[in-house]
Amino acid sequence: MKQTNKSLIEWGKQVDISKEIYREYTFPNKEVVHISRPKYLIVSDNGHRVCDIDNVSHYIPYGWIHLMWEHEDKEQFQFNHQRKE
């Protein structure tokens, strides 16, 4: 992913993602960053900041080509953030 001004999530806002079981970022070189039990996400000008259940902070720079996560509620899961009309 490249930096964009069309993010669905407001930059700098802490977003609760504690219902995610894991989150994986895949980069063009096939490197994968796996974060188990993330608690919250902050979108910044140059990447994502994710804090996990153990209060370990992860910085993920822009450049990934795929972002995947699994949510606890598989039956009723919806994307939490939608672009305002």
| pLDDT surpasses 50 at 83 | no
Domains present along the chain, CATH in parentheses: 14-71 (2.30.30)
The secondary structure of residue 55, as a DSSP letter, is: -
pLDDT, residue 5, reads 61
**pTM recorded for the entire structure:** 0.77
Burial class (CB in 10 A: 0-12, 13-18, 19+), 49: middle
Q: Give the pair of three-digit tokens for residue 78.
A: 């919806």
- Looking at per-residue confidence, does 1 or 20 come out higher? 20
Q: How far is CA 85 from CA 8, 13, 53, in A?
A: 11, 20, 34
pLDDT, residue 66, reads 94
SS3 77: coil
Q: Name the band, by pLDDT with cuts 50, 70 and 90, for residue 9.
A: low
